[in-house]
Structure 1
Amino acid sequence: MINHKLLVTIVKKGLSQKVIKASKQAGAEGGTTIPGKGTGLAQKNFLGFCIEPEKEIILTLISKEVMNGALEAIARSAELDKTGNGIAFVIDVCQVIGIAHLTEACELSCSAGGCMSNTGYELIVTVVNKGNAEIVVDATKRAGAQGGTIIYGRGTGIHEQAKLFSIAIEPEKELVLTLIERARVQDVLSAIQEDVAINEPGRGISFVLPVEQTMGIKSHAAAQVVSECNGSE
């Protein structure tokens, strides 16, 4: 049984620190913030042009025991009950590595077969310090993945306490998204652990999400056949 869930919060730009602070007070260890933009009911217009408001997406991996309290704390801090202020939702997590400092949680969540997707694919999300994303991608390729997508963000956590003139510094983060066949998930996680040492405190975290549908992907076998055919011409 997996002991963690992924809490996704989308709020207006500038509110992520407030959201993360509220979630920490409720028992979370931190979060990763990604910049974005959104369109919704609260759209504004300037001289007839639609303005797309800037957003911040906060990813918080959190234990089930404190999930409800964290949701309530975030809703209060960001006033999510008011239209246009943002949303929060929870996603199931199949597996987790990189939380070795939580012995009990790691034992619960690192076991294989946490949940099953309908497609035969799962999404591995890896959050590491800036400069380590390429190492993660190389590791996943070595384990059978065809590539990955790198997203840049910033994060706060229990191992990130750097300050400048008494002002907390949020270190830059890199997120790697790897869509992979379920049969290769364990190999990819093992490769990430081996190359990034992600189970060491402060190195990062990887978690696996179920995938319900896919479009635009070729099977590994088909890609290999195409490559061989192109090479023989």
Structure 2
Amino acid sequence: MIDSVNADPAELAKFSELAHRWWDPESEFRPLHQINPLRLDWIQSMAELSGANVLDVGCGGGILADSMARKGADVLGIDLAGKSLRVAQLHALESGTPNVRYREVSVEALADEQPSSFDVVTCMEMLEHVPDPSSVVSACSRLVRPGGWVFFSTLHRNAKAFLHAIVGAEYLLNMLPRGTHEYAKMIRPSELAWSCRQAGLDVMHSRGLEYNPINGRYRLSADTSVNYMLATRKFG
């Protein structure tokens, strides 16, 4: 049952409604297509993907999972939005993407089932959509092997992020559907770092993702005041 796991039924419905548009680079998911090469390169700069056993938590339509599989990883993508998973599976079949599969299962349930099973775990643009982000962080830590990497990305909770990610992206530039993000669910880097430490993950690196509305492009930067990513590692 959806209400027995760490998921918001309204959030699942929201992404299921748009599922058929996941792989349209000019759709509501255009920002994900634009940032995917940046986040993929950043992950690869620290964690070897070729031959790695990788888990993508909250994979949606499979944009990141598919690209990691094409870099030689054996990828499992998980989500609780069934329509999005079916789109991901269909895209993998049509594109002939090797070594990628998808399951409708919560990260907490998978952590109980397959602890310490993955070399790399990614959880990107997902934490701000669940009722209990710390539960997801803890489950990701349980799923990764000692010495493995866990990568997170989410949105800062401050005035600048509210103006850029909600007012700007959803209402002025129409880059995202209105209501995609809720300010109260956004997460400060210090809060996420604390959750990581509590879960036994050491924060190794952080990076910001900046959007330039003039040229319509994203770039990696040291500015974590709006969109940011954390690279963490489990030792011991």
TM-score (norm 2): 0.26
Greater C-alpha Rg: 1
Bigger share in helix: 2
Q: Which has the higher strand share?
A: 1
Q: TM-score, normalised by structure 1?
A: 0.26
Larger relative contact order (Cα-Cα within 8 Å, sequence gap ≥ 6): 1
